[in-house]
Amino acid sequence: MSLLEEFYKGHMIVVNYDEVYQDESPREWDNFGTMMCWHNRYILGDKHKHNSPENFIYFFLADNHEDLYDKLERYCERKGNQLGYNWGATLEELMAVFNKVALVLPLYLYDHNGISMSTSSGHYPFCDPWDSGQIGFIYITYEDLKKEFKRKKLSKKLIERGEEYLRQEVDTYDRYLRGEYYKYEIYPCVEEEEDYVWDDDDCVADGYGFISEEFALSEAKNTVDYLIKENK
């Protein structure tokens, strides 16, 4: 049974799950943002060597923003002197510094009979206190954002567009985690008495690796238009 069948200009378009692309993570593609995840059972997001978000931010600042790193070290030293013991910056404090140099969105994972990811915990199931929680973040530095948009300065509108791009990447990755890749096949088809007839062995075109049924169907229709044009 197909997920979707639609008659279009003398052809039947058949859309199904694409098992071939299920093993290819979209994090292997040329992505807009960097996805940092920490989970004790799953390997998620982009590859990295950091054992915690605190460890990552410390090294990131030390390697890329020495001024902010030095300022953070002086803050920790002052705080330690006040308290009478060594003070290490909290994750909240580190994120406040990191947010000065990067556009960052949190990543929440829902883990129950499969896994799903979102940038928001404000809707079910990502607000479930038992089976969901934050497992990292996705980010792009403001410098890289300027390069992507070919701008010397970033407006509020460009930052909002950057946020939308990051959300789209997470949505694509979520579809991968849930096994939602699609393919299409196209068959010559005739309409007979309110029914459609086509030969399953007569596929004239196909496409793979689409992240939604709608996208697969749209691309299939474009292919049919091209085939008709070429045949003429």
Structural contact between residues 135 and 122, judged by C-beta atoms closer than 8 angstroms: no
pLDDT of residue 3: 84
| Least confident range of 31-40, 50-59, 119-128 | 119-128
pLDDT of residue 22: 65
User: Which backbone phi and psi does 120 adopt, to 5 degrees?
Assistant: -130, 140
pLDDT tens per residue across span 198-232: 898 999 999 988 878 898 999 999 999 999 998 87
pLDDT tens per residue across span 81-112: 998 888 889 999 999 999 999 999 999 999 98
Instruction: Give the rounded percent of residues in the chain with a pLDDT score beyond 90.
Output: 69
Give the residue-averaged pLDDT of 103-127. 89
Three-state SS at 66: helix
DSSP per residue over 38-74, as a string?
--SS---SS----SSHHHHHHHHHHHH-HHHHHHHHH
Three-state SS at 49: coil
Give the residue-averaged pLDDT of 170-187. 90
| Predicted confidence (pLDDT) at residue 21 exceeds the cutoff of 80 | no
Number of CB atoms found within 10 A of residue 139's CB: 19
Residue in 133, 143, 141, 135 with CA at minimum distance from that of residue 166: 141
What's the token pair of residue 224? 């049919």
Residues for the chain: how many in total?
232
| Predicted confidence (pLDDT) at residue 184 exceeds the cutoff of 70 | yes
pLDDT tens per residue across span 22-43: 667 889 888 999 999 999 999 9
